[in-house]
A = this chain, B = another copy of it.
């Protein structure tokens, strides 16, 4: 299933990108004056194959999982908060409920391996809210004592992500936003970043939900120990996921691969989702062309990963929450860009005089698909 999905991933549609750029160039505005909205539109064209891509049906999928490594005291919050927050999502009272509603995205929450019973949770009462059960296990093992999960569990977490994406796609989906919930999950994400970027964990570990001082130093030591003990192979992404990953991280990476295979744009949230995006990009290098960075997280290490993926975040509001809250803002910008392409009039249509002297073709020294 994973190999089949990856085999369907292809490059961007260069002809659609050229046509999209041309359409942007004849809109009744000074050339290029909508800045990144133009770039986003051209990339959306390359992804979808349409020069005027329609981005209307949106979903944010929040993958939730627990982490054995919280036993090492890496988080300010107790582990049961993962389960409690999933319940809060189901009630509609969390930040991502509010922000998904705000941008017009439906919300799906997936139990990928939350510790403790979730079965008693009431089914969500809202039509735009779903709760799915795809649990791989009752949280991962403590990666500072051995691999976080088996290779088979890593594979199953990716497959669960693929199948969740296929369900969402079948419901109608023009763009996906990723989200995460899992107390302690900045720790495996920092380990994944350190493994792939060959960076010292001191560069990728951050304050997470708010630790500092000695707790932060301890967290760096835990990541160093986990990497030294497990020796994840950066050339084998499944190995990295199994040894220092998490079920929700594998789930997000699986969704991203399936989205790329079906030519659906993905807005990546913050630190944890970007670690998953990095993982996905190591399964197929074209994956990054299907991605948008919703926002720049306020936690250290996020920018390192974004730079590696050559992603320029769409907003920077100093947020560091996860849940898909940064992705929600990014989705709204994709919709804005799509609406500009679909709803604005050109100089001719609007009967607006264009400047005679201006060459309205953009100078291009590299193909559009390489710039995206």
Contact = CB atoms under 8 A, between A and B. Distances in A.
A129 to B, nearest CB: 13
Interface stretch (A142-150, A171-179, A245-253, A342-350): A342-350
Contacts of A352: 81, 84-85, 88
Contacts of A325: 34
Given A91-B345, A321-B29, A345-B93, A355 B84 contact: no
Contacts of A99: 336, 339-340
A248 to B, nearest CB: 17
A297 B64 CA distance: 38
Contacts of A77: 30, 353-355
A329 B34 CA distance: 12
A333 B91 CA distance: 24
How many copies of this protein are present in the complex?
A: 2
A98 B41 CA distance: 15
Interface string A195-228: 0000000000000111000000000000000000
A359 to B, nearest CB: 10
Interface residues of A, number: 60
A111 B75 CA distance: 58
Contact of A340 (B31, B98, B298): B98
A94 B345 contact: yes
Interface string A316-352: 1111110001000100110110011001110001111
A33 B93 contact: no
A350 B35 contact: no
A80 B332 CA distance: 34
A82 to B, nearest CB: 10
A350 B84 contact: yes
Contacts of A320: 30, 33, 35
A308 B80 CA distance: 48
A101 interface: yes
11 contacts: A30-B76, A30-B77, A34-B317, A35-B319, A36-B319, A81-B352, A81-B353, A84-B350, A84-B351, A94-B344, A99-B339
